[in-house]
Structures are given as C-alpha cells and as structure tokens.
Amino acid sequence: MLVNIVVGSITAFLVILSSFFSFQRLVKRKVPMYVNDPIDTIEDPHDLYSENRDTEDIKEVIKEEKKALKGKSFKNIYKGAPASFSVYRISSYGIFVMGFIYLQNNGFLDIWSYLGGIFFGLVSSIIVGMYIFKKR
C-alpha cells in the first residue's frame, strides 16, 4: 500500500513539474522581453497613465479578438506543440507508465492507494511549482 502511494505521488509530481518547466520555456521563447523603467513601475504599477491607452469600446475589442482566435486554431496547436512534446514531458509520462506497469506486474497494485498517491503528487507539485515560479 505504501509503495503505491510513493510511486503514484512521485510520478505525478514529475509529470506536473515537467509540464510547468516545458511551458515556462515555451513562454520565455515566445514572449519578447522588454525593459521597464523602475521609476515608472513604482509610480504607476498598473500602467494607468500610459500615453498609448486605447479609448475603443471594449465590446468591439472583444469581438475582434474572438474573430482572430476562430481562424487560428491549427496555428495555435502548432505553436503549442513544442511544449506538448518536450523531452521532459515525454520522459516523465514514460516513468509514470513504467511505475504503473511495475506495480501491476509484481502484484503490488492497489488502485485506491495509487490514486491517493497521484492526488498527493498533484497537490504537492502545484504547491512546489507556485513556490518556484513565485521566486523567479
């Protein structure tokens, strides 16, 4: 029973953490870096007084964005593919499957303990991921 919890939690932790890191790398590559003036950030943290604010109707902007998103579904899938098929994620899913097969073949598999371990791994990886990315 304890083996199921440990294997489930470690493998689920690896899957979620590898997803965090692969999507972080994707965002860092795709989003252009820009330099903010530190004084601007202190004086106007929410960018309320910027000169290039649009005065367009919000409903118009939302309609335009929805139209733009409808036609780019394949393009969005293509742009997100590197994060989906990264080495980190594929290897962590491989470890996840091998852990399950190991437990099943050796007769150790108790499905409720394994699912509890997966739940614990998911919660712990979200907490650790938030802590890691909050520091950066």
| Per-residue model confidence as pLDDT tens digits over 35-77 | 556 666 666 666 666 665 555 566 776 777 777 666 566 666 6
pTM of the predicted structure, to 2 decimals: 0.65
pLDDT at site 133: 72
The residues spanned by each domain of the chain are 2-135
Shortest CA distance to 95 belongs to which of 6, 12, 5, 19?
12
CA distances to 20, 68, 94 from 127, rounded to whole Å, are: 12, 35, 23
